Structure 1
Amino acid sequence: MDQLQCGTSPIVGFRFSLHPMTDRFADVITEAINETDTSAVWMHTDDVSTVIRGKQAHVFNVAKAIALHAAKTGVHVALNGTFSAGCPGDSAGDVFLDKPDELLNTDRTKQYVSSQFALYPMNNPGYMEVIYREVDRAKASGVFNESMHYASGIHGDIHDVFDFYEEAFSNARSDEHRHLVMTVSMSINSPSHGGAGR
């Protein structure tokens, strides 16, 4: 595949690791992936992590579905991952960009999520303005939890949280600055959550 200049590819990717706090961790991970319709994304799993690539809407849809299926086991689950767009190594010729826009995972089960995220608008000298803007939007939308070093806390129902993350990912990119990285860490079904979101 031909290499592209940074930011010219519409492909979005998400590399993540899922950590169920149970001796059945392999089963929980495998079942969560198998129960998710991943036919609209390119996916590869190795012994450390899984990467999914394709249209932005499908990547976020699949990421949320995998997290939700793992959460529905009731097991305490941690998810850590990195969303990326505009990477010079991705190709605009990827066949998954031809997939229809219809989202394939539509489970709306409510699930409380506590998470943290950090935005890295690459090569953008105004990156702090971009970050502050998205934090303010999180506060306005009701999913902001707390400020902290190197990240911002986001919590609430998993659907609201992922909606915010996808919107932040879109808003933090521009025609001039297309390369963006966003890290996300999630804790689901943790005993420390108490009755939050229930």
Structure 2
Amino acid sequence: MEELQCGMSPIVGFRFTLNPMTDDFVAVIKGALEEVDTSAVWMHTDDVSTVIRGKQVHVFNVAKALALHAAKTGVHVALNGTFSAGCPGDTAGDAYLDKPDEPLNNDKTKQYVSSQFALYPMNNPDYMSVIYREVERAKERGVFNESMHYSSGIHGDIHDVFDFYEETFTHARSEEHRHLVMTVSMSINSPSHGGK
């Protein structure tokens, strides 16, 4: 079997954990999964996390929809995950690349999100300029919160935040450097948000 090189597959993946801060966390998670249309992505859940894979537009759409539906319960929700593209050997789920580009989840409910992200442009010797450029993009989009060790703070309405993350995920990759990893941590409905 021929060895796959980074960037040969257009699949984008997101491995995440959704943590509702409530004793009834199972109902919150299952409720979100029932409300969200996940038919455009390959999805698998194990005893630690869930992974969704497919076209970038659908991976980000499903990720946002799951976070939003869990948040609509009003409980404090944390979401932690890793987006990846161009990963060697990433072929399972290729059938989902035939899906139309139209997003399937279109809930426009406003929801404040506080989050942090870190970019890892793999094999790119100029990775710091990529990171600085995307932090500037966050400032231009009005979602930048603060600089911090090992990540950057991003906050605002969930739709603006996810739009920024998807745009950054696109622009931080190039034909020469296709393998990209981006970690995201979110806090929604936290008491520390002061009713935002």
Q: TM-score, normalised by structure 2?
A: 0.98
Please tell me the residue identity of whatever aligns with 2:36: T
Question: Deviation at 1:96?
Answer: 0.2
Distance 1:93 1:58 in 2: 13
Q: Unmatched 5+ residue regions in structure 2?
A: none
Name the structure 1 match of 2:140: 140
Question: Deviation at 1:92?
Answer: 8.1
Question: Deviation at 1:3?
Answer: 4.8
Question: Deviation at 1:91?
Answer: 1.7
Deviations 1:16-42 (A, max 9, x none): 000000000011011111110000000
SS at match of 1:167: helix
Name the structure 2 match of 1:109: 109
SS at match of 2:89: coil
Distance 1:2 1:58 in 2: 29
Question: Deviation at 1:129?
Answer: 0.1
Question: Deviation at 1:2?
Answer: 6.4
Distance 2:60 2:100 in 1: 15
Deviations 1:123-181 (A, max 9, x none): 00000000000000101110000000000000000000000000000000000000000
Question: Deviation at 1:4?
Answer: 1.9
Distance 1:151 1:137 in 2: 15
Name the structure 1 match of 2:170: 170
Tell me, yes or no, if the aligned pair for 2:173 and 2:180 is still in contact at 8 Å. yes
Deviates more, 1:29-38 or 1:160-169: 29-38
Question: Deviation at 1:49?
Answer: 0.4
Q: Unmatched 5+ residue regions in structure 1?
A: none
Tell me, yes or no, if the aligned pair for 1:113 and 1:155 is still in contact at 8 Å. yes
Tell me, yes or no, if the aligned pair for 1:114 and 1:186 is still in contact at 8 Å. yes
Distance 2:45 2:156 in 1: 28
Please tell me the residue identity of whatever aligns with 1:22: T
Tell me, yes or no, if the aligned pair for 1:11 and 1:53 is still in contact at 8 Å. yes
Name the structure 2 match of 1:50: 50
Moved over 3 A (4+): none
Structural mapping, 1:121-136, within 5 Å:
121-136=121-136
Question: Deviation at 1:104?
Answer: 0.3
Name the structure 1 match of 2:99: 99
Name the structure 2 match of 1:9: 9
Distance 1:173 1:53 in 2: 18
Name the structure 2 match of 1:82: 82
Q: TM-score, normalised by structure 1?
A: 0.97
Distance 1:158 1:191 in 2: 17
Please tell me the residue identity of whatever aligns with 2:105: N
1:69 to 2:69 alignment: yes
Distance 1:55 1:97 in 2: 6
Name the structure 2 match of 1:22: 22
Give the number of equivalent residue pairs. Answer: 196
Question: Deviation at 1:7?
Answer: 1.0
Tell me, yes or no, if the aligned pair for 1:114 and 1:156 is still in contact at 8 Å. yes
